[in-house]
A and B are shown apart, each in its own frame.
Chain A
Amino acid sequence: MSVSAQNPPGESTGSKPTGGYVLASLRHDPLAVGALIYIALLVLVLVGGSVVLGEMAASQNLRMRNLAPGALEAGWQYLLGSDSLGRSVLARIVVGGVRTLGVAFTTVVIASVIGTAIGIYAGYRGGLADNLVMRVADISLAFPGILLAVVLLYIFPPALTTVIVVLIVNRLPLYIRVSRAETLEVRERLFVSAARVLGASTWRIATRHVLPVIAPTILTVATLDVAVVMLVESSLSFLGMGVQPPSISWGLMVADGRRYLRAAWWLTFFPGLAIILTGIAINLVSNWLRVALDPVQAARLHKHGDDDGQ
């Protein structure tokens, strides 16, 4: 904390890291490489698998119900067992993953774009607009996010779009805060003053001078946020307020499996494991991005590693 007080975080991004540099930093981070490979494979399996397994995930087979994991003699689709209606857990995890990750990704993209726009506007303009935005963001900080979601989901019909809108409302304040704080700092830098003196419009300053400087921070925050949204959506679905049957999401699978906990632990275990593994991978990628997009911190970390070796 004391160091960042001396070097404002934005200062370090003054020299923009090039794509080559960012990729090269992967050499120091085998865990991030693993996480990226996991995510790539996951997306491939989910997108491809949901097309192939879509029907299987919904098809019931009462002769095959509550099969324990590893029941391969009944067919490869029962690798992770089957539920009380004889549906393949593996197929349901694949199909549910598309919904879970799709909701998380959509939410983060929309919330980060809108939130950053509001944050830059508030930070750059200051005054009344800034005050208003920050008071509203304060409310959301004091207000139990998940309870607000529950209230909203109770008011509006439980459609997928409602869930996404509620999640966006839940995540917006984060982006407003981060981008506003960064903008406040960038606004005072010389190149922004220079642009202003040269007659650049507010729009041009915001998009060409402020945005590129704060973008790496937003990207890092947004990456991590995919994991957070995934947890929030899972919690909501678990409470019966998120994704609604017959749609499938990982959180919903955990909630459904809870009733059969004694008879079939795998119904709860595997969807939860999918959430955890994906969450870890996203965390690792976000950690790597934070360092890779910030040359000063990267140098510090590596230097520290060398010191440590002595």
Chain B
Amino acid sequence: MSIFIDSLSWALLLLGGFICVSGAIGMHRFPDFFSRMHAASVTDTLGGGLVLVGLMLQVEGQYIVLIKLILIVLFIFLTSPTASHALAKAALHGGLRPKLGSNQEEQDEDVLRSFGPVKSEDTKNKE
């Protein structure tokens, strides 16, 4: 039983580490700001969450550490998606638009309706 828990926690830790690394690679290689941000937030939420759950399984006997880890996971699940939401909203306000398809001129109608068309001088400053 304890070997099962040990190997499960090791698997979770390794998986969390792999997700963090792939998130970092994705942050470099994705073509567009919004997909890069998605990669970053996956690193934060899923990678961090899995590592912490793996650590939770390693705790033996000191239940105060288990409770603290659960609180940290709750906090991360609450704040990290909010942070990426705030970033995306700020970018949309600043004039950046997601690149849909290979044609740069296609845009989503919802985005156009709530935020207006791209202000061209702002995007020149960003790149």
Asked if chains A and B come from one complex, the reply is no
